[in-house]
Amino acid sequence: MIREAIDRAQAKLLVSLDSPRLDLGFAADLVSSMKGIVVGFKIGTPFVLSKGLKAVKNIIGSSPEAYFLADLKLADTAQVMEYVVELVRDAGFSGLVVNGFIGYEGALERVAKKCESASLELFVQVTFDHPASHIIDSRYPDIKMAIRKADPSGLIVPASKTTIIRDLRETFGNRYVILSPGIFAAGAEPGEALCYGADAEVVGNRVVLAPSPREALESVVRAQARYLSENKGKCLAR
C-alpha cells in the first residue's frame, strides 16, 4: 500500500496532522485538497485524542483512496498493542507506527503478527532526534535485528539522522520504505533525507499552519528538488 502510494504521489511528502488545536473541518478540507498530490497523511496521538477516533474515522472515510498512517508510536505490553491494532484498523488507517526499542520477542513479534492478520502495515520508529535519543541509538544494532525479525512495511527515521538513514538503506536495500519526519523542525533541509536514502519526507506545521497550505507545500517540493539537484554527487543512487 505505502509503495503504491509513493509511486502515485506527485510529491514525495506525507503531511502530518498532530496539533490538537487544528480545526476538524480545516483538517478534513486540507486532506481533501492534497490527496493525490502527497503520499498520504500521518495522524498523531494529540490530534486523535483531541478530536476522537470517530471524527478521525470520518476524515479517513471521506478520502478512502488516500494513505493514512496512525503515528501512535506504540510502546506497551503486547496485549495492549494488539487492542490498539484493532482500533486503528477499524478506523480505516492503512498503517501503524510502533517503537523499535521495545524489542522483538513478545513485543514487535506479536504486534507484527496482529498487523498482518488485520491487513495493516507496520512501521517501526527506529530513533528520534531529541538530545537524549543517543540512549536509543546505543541500542541501534538490537533495533536493526528486531527490524529484520519483524519484517515491517516501513521504517521511521528523523530526517536529521542521515547516517542512520543511509545505513538502513545500505543494509536492507529497498526491502523497507523509509519515511523521514523533521524537515525544518529538526534542522534538516527538504530533500536531505531523500538524498541519503529515504523514500519520502514528512512535513507538518510548516504546511499545515501556513496561511496558504497549498503554496507552502509547493514551496517544500521545490526545496526538495533544489537540494537533490545541488547535492546529486553525494546522494544515494535510487
pLDDT of residue 224: 95
pTM greater than 0.75: yes
Instruction: Report the CATH number of the 2-182+199-218 domain.
Output: 3.20.20.70
Which residue positions in the chain have pLDDT lower than 70?
A: 237-238
Cβ neighbours for 126, distance < 8 A, ≥ 6 positions apart: 100, 140, 143, 147, 155, 156, 157, 161, 164, 168
pLDDT in tens, 206-226: 999 999 999 999 999 999 999
Ordered by start, the domain boundaries in the chain are 2-182+199-218
Task: State the pLDDT at residue 201.
Answer: 97
CA angle 23, 124, 72 (to 5 degrees): 30
